[in-house]
Amino acid sequence: MMMHPDVKRTVKNALAEDIGPGDITTNACIPASLQAEARFMAKQDLTLAGVELLRLLFDGSQIFKRSGETAASGEQIALVRGPARMLLARERVALNFLQRLSGIATLAASYVRAVKGTGVRILDTRKTTPGLRVLEKMAAAAGGVVNHRMGLYDAVLIKNNHIRLAGGVRAAIERARVTRKPIEVEVRTRVEIGDALDCGVSRVLLDNMTPEQAAIEIRFIDHRAETEISGNVTLENIRAYAEARPDFISSGSITHSAVAVDINCGIYAL
């Protein structure tokens, strides 16, 4: 995944954005010949993601904890040796990636833990930072979440605006058959659920229902299609939704509301 063209392009753009024509402070203060080491340390308990990006940013990276693994506060994550100027110039970009992506992985892992034992699988969404989707979905997966569609091009998901503009659930589904892909449709009422089931969709997405409403509709669906719950799902209420026994629960907050975790980079002369 780290060799994905989008990932390599993102790293290149991040370095160009921050360094520009040169790190004027570092170049003024630090001799070109000085060698140093950068120690990346967890400053809180977390689930890691994106640590392999260090190999794209620095030569000679030693990675002690990999994406998907947990790190306790005070544990060393990675060690990088090289020219001090290079370490200083790339330190912030490295930390921005590690802190953001590990924040997503840490939150994702919390969601997965919250539904443990129910058999429900947690999905991410397309609510990602523009330009960072591949990395953010990789981070969600590192936390144990199942990646939903990567974009609009790889899966059919008929949503409320499609239904409205197409003239109803049945009309939208019939038109979507041309894709020859499994069809998922978002529904909000029993009538829409019935229409979707009658048309033989693969998955029904129950949108913005309470846990109690979702449980009633899942019993009605009775395994005639896969079921997914979405809308207003939080870490505080996801267990209640999971106990309605859907196949999946999706939450955009895993990516759009994750808080960056605390990772430190100390740089020392050799």
Which pair of tokens denotes residue 44? Answer: 């809180």
Q: Hey, which residues are catalytic here?
A: 92, 127, 159, 186, 207
Longest dimension (CA), the chain: 73
Tell which phi-psi region holds residue 52, choosing left (phi > 0), alpha (psi between -120 and 50) or beta: alpha
The three-class DSSP label of residue 42 is: strand
DSSP state, residue 146: B
How far is 184 from 209, CA to CA, in rounded Å? Answer: 17
DSSP state, residue 261: P
Which among 107, 45, 52 has a CA at the least distance from the CA of 75? Answer: 45
How far is 173 from 198, CA to CA, in rounded Å? Answer: 10
Identify residue 168 by its one-letter amino acid code.
Answer: G
Strand-by-strand arrangement of the 121-123 sheet: 121-123, 248-250, 226-230, 203-207, 183-187, 156-158
SS (HEC) of 10-49: HHHHHHHHHHCCCCHHHHHHCCCCCEEEEEEEECCCEECC
Which among 137, 105, 71, 132 has a CA at the least distance from the CA of 258? Answer: 105
Query: For residues 171 and 195, is the Cβ–Cβ distance under 8 A?
Result: no
